[in-house]
Amino acid sequence: MGKFLPALNVIPKLRDATAHSMTKLSEKTLEQTGIFSRFLMDVADVFLFMARFNKELFSGRFEWKEFGHQCYQVGYKTLPLISITGAIMGLVLTIQSRPVLADFGAVSMLPGMVTVSLIREMGPVITALICAGKIGSGMGAELGSMKVTEQIEAMEVSSTNPMRFLVVTRVLAATIMIPLLVLYADLLGILGSWGGANIKGSVTFTLFFSQAFSAVDFLDFLPAVVKTFFFGAVIGLVGTYKGYNAGRGTESVGIAANSAVVLASLLVIIVDMIAVQITDMIIS
């Protein structure tokens, strides 16, 4: 019996250890609810910001020149980045899918399958995430530094509504240009896929494209395009919201840019999930 006694010593240690891990766990949960509730508050604030945006959108003069400039910034300046990622996306997807399809003897389905997944999901989501990084952070940093250096206030005292001049133009530019960027990425993705298909085997351009597009129907296309407008709006709204509401002091510029990317990416994924659910309900 005596030799079991030392084993009993373990029990308090075990109890301590459990207690320890329990406090850790509860701390963690607390921390997580902190993050979660902060996220919800952020989302609520973005909605409030959206209400302000809507009010400004339909009142007063529209800043066409700044809008044009922003379309150029958001659209044209992002093209190189989107070109590379779009093409590589198609290429990689093709190379990865080929062996699986070959196992089923269905290599001829390759163009169609890759095209459908590009148009439905990969193109919109990956492009939107890249735009959240480039455009969301750009807007957060730009407006954030304008806020910190009193440029937004300077606008306000020179008879300009900064909400209309800075926010409305940027959000609209993102809402219109991001869907175009997605279509462009889809197209380059399909080209990349054609390239990938030609690594092992050879397919003519026309054959590849006819196979690709015969697999896609309108119901793949429409919901995918519709959701990209929401992605664009989310990225524009979050980027401008974070910048416009940056705190005081230079460090808030970095914080604005960073949190714009985090929140915009997260919301893109969430909007995508909701969009997929709704599409599914409508189609079935």
Distance, in Å, from the CA atom of 121 to the CA atom of 118, rounded to the nearest integer, reads: 6
Number of residues that bind another protein (CB under 8 A): 14
Q: At 59, list the tokens.
A: 């009142």
Which residue number, 158 or 206, has a Cβ lying nearer to another protein?
Answer: 158
DSSP H or E run through 201: none
Q: Using alpha carbons only, how large is the chain's radius of gyration in Å? A: 25
Which residue number, 42 or 142, has a Cβ lying nearer to another protein?
Answer: 142
Which residue number, 114 or 143, has a Cβ lying nearer to another protein?
Answer: 143
Minimum distance from CB of 142 to another protein (Å)? 8
Minimum distance from CB of 150 to another protein (Å)? 4
Minimum distance from CB of 153 to another protein (Å)? 5
Which residue number, 142 or 220, has a Cβ lying nearer to another protein?
Answer: 142
Q: At 47, list the tokens.
A: 């909605």
N- to C-terminal Cα separation, the chain: 69
Minimum distance from CB of 243 to another protein (Å)? 13
Distance, in Å, from the CA atom of 242 to the CA atom of 43, rounded to the nearest integer, reads: 11
Minimum distance from CB of 147 to another protein (Å)? 11
> Looking only at residues 10 through 49 of this chain, which bind another protein when binding is defined by CB under 8 A?
none
> Looking only at residues 85 through 144 of this chain, which bind another protein when binding is defined by CB under 8 A?
142
**Residue 108, class by beta-carbon neighbours within 10 Å (0-12 exposed, 13-18 middle, 19+ buried)?**
exposed
> Looking only at residues 216 through 235 of this chain, which bind another protein when binding is defined by CB under 8 A?
none
Which residue number, 122 or 148, has a Cβ lying nearer to another protein?
Answer: 148
Per-residue string for binding with another protein, 256-275, x by CB under 8 A?
--------------------
Which residue number, 60 or 201, has a Cβ lying nearer to another protein?
Answer: 60
Contact 170, 69 (CB under 8 A): no
* Rounded to 5°, angle at Cα 258 from 265 and 177: 50
Minimum distance from CB of 253 to another protein (Å)? 12
Which residue number, 70 or 175, has a Cβ lying nearer to another protein?
Answer: 70
Distance, in Å, from the CA atom of 236 to the CA atom of 239, rounded to the nearest integer, reads: 5
In the chain, the amino acid numbered 20 is: H
> Looking only at residues 138 through 177 of this chain, which bind another protein when binding is defined by CB under 8 A?
142, 145-146, 149-151, 153-160
CB burial string 224-261: b at 16+ within 10 A, e below: beebbebbbbbbbbbbbbbbbebeeeeebbeebbebbb
SS3 200: coil
Which DSSP state fits 60? S
Minimum distance from CB of 238 to another protein (Å)? 21
Site residues (CB under 8 A) for another protein? Answer: 142, 145-146, 149-151, 153-160
